[in-house]
A and B are shown apart, each in its own frame.
Chain A
């Protein structure tokens, strides 16, 4: 909504819980949004938008920023003409992720100003502020969200004409400016100096007029908090004085110092890593942090009460819920049945098919990051004894393959293992896990309109893979198993594409195709 109100020219991103809904909503409101093959490309497109003087919003989940880290660190040195806001949706507690990294570290490491909203209202306001900060200081801004900010709904009041309003975007235009945008060493050295100077200015601004809020309360207990942790603090300790930080890089250290000296006990309540604690202590501010056990998982009101009480007794364990499972009739089911029957060693990847690790299949052996199935599989093939090596099959989904499997495929062609290798692309025609988003392999845009399509079998053949097979694993389970077996038996490289639409997406896919076939006038 904020992105729309601010006249964001283009939203880009790659789907990932809990960030996916941002671009989908922006598009429904009438904004222009598109899925990129991965977060790195999404950010690069966003950089181009900002170099053109327009406004860009780039969304991703926390691990997505690892992929986009390369452009992030260097775009920080450049001078933007427009706005570039990067949304990092972190997942403390790992509701749907492979790790719980704290991306506030990226702001510090890359030198990118960061805002942390604590509810939907602030998600709206801070997005507008992030655009203003980005344009005022010509730097990218990180908008760091977490699961409980992304996947909660709280009331948002719009004030489009008042203080919250944002000036309209400038018309896009390109100015040559080599030293500011061409990061060869000669230009990058002064650019780094310029960045640090800008950050120092922003730090002063944050101290005096940044998005920080003081809630006056008892002087006996003072709490410094940011993001959703602020909400838990207000509920757990309504009497306390609270300094709520909106911009957490660069930190408003003088405000923090003044606050800490104004109270008897000053404690920092933050989710994840001790980022604010370390920042305060580096600046010589004496603050109390949370015990190490609260670094893990999400915070909540009860856990904040425990931190304040210094209670480190074992926390009550929640009764485990029913784990997710592959849907009945899911095409991945027949794939894993075959792989189990063939006693394969299966480096896997990220998507619904990750569930192949759970009973009844227990047929996926590794999961590291997007695209790792292929590289890990090749490493296993290179080092295992021949009898084991020939049982290795890399399993990767369609969207994940586009995201970062293609370079793995090139590696397989360039450095083939002696025993050959088999890459199995599970093509269910959608990015199923995150909620049926399109990707370059579906041939439809974020808004489901017809567009260019990457055809996996053509791609694999054009790269030089000679054994390329396409098969429907649900319709022909025996044939599928025989095919995988025959590929494993050959000391050659093969790509098998198991193609059948995700059961949950079939109906929508048919509907999109029908709409796209109709003439538009």
Chain B
């Protein structure tokens, strides 16, 4: 039987870049040669309501949605959406949330989605170059610098906190 896919759920509110973040993640996994599926809900959910998107990648992926309680990583861009999505996370799954990022250091609040992808990048084996390339492909050129900056703020903050965990 093929190995189980990696399951990521990205959640937040309409307008926070949930779908964009999931596009970027799917792109990174796709460029790595993996089977990737991504699912999301639009329409009514666009008007500032809850939005979530599932990204799954591995040797072979069937369902485009992450089964309840089987997410390996849950990224929540709006803190008040954590309780709404908590049941997605599996045992031993990792929650990635804005409190892990020093908001004041971000180039703008809109880039929180990318900063949290930076945190996620520490947990996945994709190279920094692959992430940077996917970011460039998915975001307009004028946002490129701010985006990369936000990504590395996320990535570096996760390194710092993991070091702290190890030393304590």
Give chain A's interface residues, CB within 8 Å of chain B.
17-18, 95-97, 119, 147-148, 151-155, 228, 231-232, 234-235, 238, 300-302, 316, 318-327, 352, 355, 433-435
Q: Please name the 8 residue pairs, one residue from A and one from B, whose CB atoms are nearest each other, closest first.
A: A96-B43, A321-B50, A17-B43, A324-B49, A152-B64, A324-B47, A235-B62, A152-B39
Query: Which residues of chain B from 98 to 131 have any CB-CB distance to chain A below 8 Å in the complex?
Result: none
Q: Does B65 contact A (CB under 8 A)?
A: yes
Give every chain B residue within 8 A of A321 (Cβ-Cβ): 49-50, 52, 81, 84
For residue B64, which residue of chain A has the nearest CB? A152
Shortest distance from the beta carbon of B80 to any chain A beta carbon, whole Å: 7
Give every chain B residue within 8 A of A95 (Cβ-Cβ): 41-45
Report yes or no: B41 in contact with A301, Cβ–Cβ below 8 A: no
Q: What is the 8 Å Cβ interface bit string for chain B, positions 73-92, against chain A (1 contact, 0 not)?
A: 00000001101111100000
Give every chain B residue within 8 A of A325 (Cβ-Cβ): 47-49
Give every chain B residue within 8 A of A17 (Cβ-Cβ): 42-44
For residue A61, which residue of chain B has the nearest CB? B43
Report yes or no: A301 in contact with B63, Cβ–Cβ below 8 A: yes
Shortest distance from the beta carbon of A210 to any chain B beta carbon, whole Å: 22
Report yes or no: B84 in contact with A320, Cβ–Cβ below 8 A: yes
Report yes or no: A96 in contact with B44, Cβ–Cβ below 8 A: yes
Give every chain A residue within 8 A of B35 (Cβ-Cβ): 154-155
Question: With A153-B37, A319-B83, A325-B49 in contact, is A235–B63 under 8 Å at CB?
Answer: yes
Describe B's contact surface by its main secondary structure. Answer: mixed
Give every chain B residue within 8 A of A316 (Cβ-Cβ): 68, 87
A153 to B14, CA, bound (A): 19
Report yes or no: B65 in contact with A96, Cβ–Cβ below 8 A: no
Q: Does B40 contact A (CB under 8 A)?
A: yes
A34 to B41, CA, bound (A): 24
A435 to B47, CA, bound (A): 10
A325 to B44, CA, bound (A): 9
Report yes or no: B47 in contact with A18, Cβ–Cβ below 8 A: no
Shortest distance from the beta carbon of A332 to any chain B beta carbon, whole Å: 11
Shortest distance from the beta carbon of B142 to any chain A beta carbon, whole Å: 15
Can you spell out 18 A-B residue pairs with CB atoms less than 8 angstroms apart? A95-B44, A96-B43, A147-B41, A151-B39, A151-B40, A151-B42, A154-B36, A228-B63, A232-B63, A301-B63, A301-B65, A318-B84, A319-B83, A319-B85, A320-B84, A322-B48, A322-B50, A324-B49
